[in-house]
Structure 1
Amino acid sequence: MTDATDYDPVGCPVSDCEYRDAVRSVAAHVAEADDDAHEWDRLGYAGARNFVETEKRRQRQNGGGGSNSSSDGGSSDPSSNGGPSTGESSTGENPRDPADGAAGSGGFTAASQVSGSDAGSSGGKSEPSGGGSDTADAADETPFELGFERDALVLLELAREYDLSSLDDLGTWQLADLYSLLADLKNSADDARKEVRDELLENVREERTVAADLGSVSRTTYNYRRVADETTVHRALADAGVDPEEVRSFDKSKLKDAIEETDLEEDDVFDVDERPTIRISDSHDDQRRRHFERLDDEVRSLADDE
């Protein structure tokens, strides 16, 4: 696959961002965004080119291109499928499938509703009327799947089997098993997190905090900025007495400096969208330990938590 159109669309690697487009367009979107979450360093990429190369390599390895292999909205993750280029050469070994094909499995389903809605809201979702058929209601419900239960248990078993006090003592095959499991767990857990986040956004009012047993989350709004089209920016800079050549590439940091030093308004050069998001405001370690201590001895022994 060599033509750019042979590659499937991908989603933005930022977990709270819903942007989705061609690989190069997503790279440009990240580069133009003006918030910390879209910084390449934070995302684990060396830059736009590294993201594009990593994503195309992932699709080639997974048989992508025309097969819509990324139709679930996900994008390449630098912690899996090759990751950012670091200059290290491959060992040439073929890592075995962790746990004989356990990766990515897990059919456990749970109710798709999140019960921890905002305590200050007026009752949350309304109940459906009794006039609809059970078949229609069932068809509208999408089961919520964690999707990583088996991998998580296999990882705990490997943690008991291996001596993880030092990774230096593990062989390359053991490291490959751990890495593949951790990468799949990260991706699956993040998919589940997004579903729960979307449900919380429907139930929690703006600027409210839900203090649950194991942690607290808050609904907030952040400004997502992208540089406006070149003609608009060029005209705004000229009107404000700024030489467009000084910010020829319309670098975001230079544009922000120009806003601070002139009469330019942010809206003159940036397209700004307010987007709601859910953020963790606190983790309740004591409550989590109590839940852990209620587990069966055999399960707790897998974590080796002293």
Structure 2
Amino acid sequence: MTLRPTRCPAPDCGFSDVPSLVAAHVNGTEGPEHDWARLQYDGPGDFLSAMRDGDGEERGDDGAGDDTAGDDTAGGTSDDTGDGTGDDTADGEEPRSHAIDPEPVFRAVEVARDRSAGVEDLEDLETPALADLFVAFSVLASEAGTVRSDVRTAIIDRIDEEMEIEGELGSIGRSMSTRRSLRSEETVRRALFEAGIDPRAAESFDPDLVRDLVDKGDIDEDTVFETSRSDHVRRTTVDEEAFEER
């Protein structure tokens, strides 16, 4: 069955493909515009479910660009116990559901296993077989990334910033990164001019050069830089034997 191309839910993106690849595109694209917390879907799992149920278009762009959820996540909100098990639901509200569907991952694993069975050297494969193997593992990575993002959404509010949680297979930690992007050329040019700096000194508006001029002119960096923060859940250790035994 041929799937109808689905548009990326990020405003003004223009990317379209089958839903699973659109979800992978959002997962792999940096910037606040592609942050699930700012979109109208509660993670890639919710997006794929909406596409399967056919209600993707009905949601429209109502949730796009909403900074509220993103601010709560970036702020590292948790309960007052400080034990990293924060509750992100308000009093009287039902806990938010974080359902996942790992079956596509299992199916992708079987395909990848079948295609790679007996393969010891990739150079021995014919080009079409190598292409199939690439596709199999590409789909596996995409499906696994979708479920991983769902798990990230469910756990991130339970982990305090710079905290590490130990499991049986390994540990995870939460950190925060900051991205700066220049505002419009007109805004940057005006800020430099008002600070007594010739805007032509940063004609290309290279971020590093602008940063130096901002420091030189004692300009508030928020005047010329848009700053966004995002949280990351990363793997910090792995019990290799646990995976080798399987």
Compute the TM-score of the two structures, normalised by the length of structure 2. Answer: 0.62
Q: Which residue pairs with 1:292 in the alignment?
A: 244
1:143 paired residue among 84, 88, 99 = 99
User: What residue number does 2:136 align with?
Assistant: 181
User: Offset of 1:174 from its aligned partner?
Assistant: 0.7
1:75 maps to amino acid: H
1:262, distance to aligned residue in structure 2 (A): 4.2
Q: Look up the SS of the partner of 1:75 in the other structure.
A: helix
Aligned match for 1:243, one of 186, 192, 198: 198
Q: Does 2:147 match 1:195?
A: no
* Aligned residue number for residue 75 of structure 1: 25
2-structure distance, mates of 1:76, 1:123: 27
Q: 1:157 to 1:207 in 2, by over 3 A?
A: same
Task: Report the counterpart of residue 12 of structure 2 in structure 1.
Answer: 22
Indicate the residue corresponding to 1:283 in structure 2: 237
Alpha carbons 1:223, 1:275 under 8 Å: kept:
yes
Aligned to 2:211: 256
2:83 equivalent to 1:121: yes
Distance in 2 (CA, whole Å) between partners of 1:275 and 1:143 is 23
Give the equivalent residue in structure 2 for 1:154.
111
Change (3 A) 1:126 1:247: closer
Alignment partner of 1:213: what SS?
coil
2:8 to 7, 10, 14: 10
Call closer, same or farther: CA 1:276–1:210 in 2, change over 3 Å.
same
SS in 2 for 1:190: helix
Confirm or deny: 8 A CA contact 1:223 1:272 kept in the other structure.
Answer: yes
CA–CA distance in structure 2, aligned partners of residues 227 and 126 of structure 1 = 33
Which string of whole-angstrom CA distances, capped at 9 and with x for unpartnered residues, describes residues 4-29 of structure 1? xxx96426xxxxxxxx22236xxxxx
* Corresponding position: 1:170 with 2:125: yes
Shift of 1:290: 3.3
CA distance in 1, matches of 2:85, 2:186: 49
What CA distance in whole angstroms lies between the structure 2 residues aligned with 1:209 and 1:123? Answer: 12
CA separation of 1:186 and 1:201: change in aligned 2, threshold 3 A: same
Tell me: CA distance 1:254–1:175, structure 2 relative to 1, closer, same or farther (3 Å): same
RMSD: 3.9
Cα 1:239–1:21 change in 2 (3 A) is: same
SS across alignment from 2:114:
helix
Distance 1:123 1:253, change over 3 A: closer
Query: What secondary structure does 1:148 align onto?
Result: helix
**Which of these two proteins has the greater Rg computed from alpha carbons?**
1
Q: Secondary structure at the match of 1:121?
A: coil
Q: 1:70 to 1:123 in 2, by over 3 A?
A: closer
Percent identity of equivalent pairs: 26
The offset of 1:197, in angstroms, is: 1.2
Structure 1 stretches of 5 or more lacking a match? 1-6, 12-19, 25-54, 63-68, 79-116, 296-306
- Tell me by how many angstroms 1:121 deviates: 1.9
Report how many residues are paired: 192
Q: 1:158 deviation in Å?
A: 2.5
Three-state SS of the structure 2 residue aligned to 1:217 is strand
Q: TM-score, normalised by structure 1?
A: 0.51
Question: In the TM superposition, what whole-angstrom CA distance separates every residue of 1:233-284 from its partner, at most 9, and x where no partner exists?
Answer: 112111333322232342323323323544233222101123222222x222
Structure with greater helix percent: 2
Separation of aligned partners in 1, 2:205 and 2:194 = 15
Distance 1:203 1:238 in 2: 46
